[in-house]
Amino acid sequence: MPALTPSQTIGPFLHIEVPYEGEERLVEPDHPGAIRLLGTLTDGEGDAVDDALVEIWQANAGGRYAHPEDAREEIPLENGFTGFGRCSTDHEGRFEFLTVKPGAVPGPDGRPQAPHIDVSVFARGLLNRLVTRIYFPDEEEANAEDPVLSLIEEEAQRETLIARQDDGALRFDIRLQGEGETTFFVI
């Protein structure tokens, strides 16, 4: 079997190729249920990370992934909704997506997972991507039962994965290191 190609940092010059124009917009502004999902990326000294790429991957509002391995045909796909977005951070470390809240998807034992969005963070100084998840503040019960959130022992660490309402938008700040450090996963 061929051996895996190792990961390397994305470096500071990713903007030469990625993201493509409009990739932070998964839906149009007039889409029913469109939400602004935004946040700030900071490092261990609290400084803005202004050269990062944030990617999101999610199911549609009905809970179906636009991917051949999600074969649950009883849940319709939405024309034009890929479930993927990417956004580079600006000079203040900010990123912002326009998307919809995903529906629940099945978990490891067939029970539903709480609605969530998978996130990858790439940046200069990250030799491998960091993976985390965004959960929703209006899903307390589902979050309490979620099989992935339940893997995290400390409540304060679970809390880092729950977005909060912020003036009509949904805020998910990402702290790479130090106080309030976001919980990251090995997948």
Applying the rule CB under 8 A, the residues between 45 and 84 that interact with other proteins are 45, 47, 49, 51, 55, 57-59, 65-72, 82-84
Shortest CB 82 distance to other proteins, Å: 6
Cβ–Cβ < 8 Å for 103, 59: yes
Q: Closest CB to other proteins among 38 and 175?
A: 175
Q: Is 43 in the site for other proteins (CB under 8 A)?
A: yes
Tell me the C-alpha to C-alpha distance, in Å, between residue 115 and each of 91, 126, 136, 168, 172: 30, 27, 7, 19, 15
Cβ–Cβ < 8 Å for 182, 49: no
Phi, psi of 57 (to 5 degrees): -140, 125
Cβ–Cβ < 8 Å for 41, 95: yes
Task: Tell me how many residues contact other proteins (CB under 8 A).
Answer: 76
Q: Closest CB to other proteins among 110 and 168?
A: 110
Shortest CB 163 distance to other proteins, Å: 16
| Residue 138: half-sphere exposure toward Cβ, Cα within 13 Å | 7
Q: Closest CB to other proteins among 85 and 170?
A: 85
Tokens of 155: 């409540």
When binding is defined by CB under 8 A, the residue of 76, 80, 137, 178 that contacts other proteins is 178
Q: Closest CB to other proteins among 69 and 167?
A: 69
In the region spanning residues 110 to 169, those forming contacts with other proteins, defined by CB under 8 A, are 110-111, 113, 116, 118, 120, 122-131, 147-148, 151-152, 157
Q: Would you put residue 107 in left (φ > 0), alpha (ψ -120 to 50) or beta?
A: beta
Q: Is 22 in the site for other proteins (CB under 8 A)?
A: no
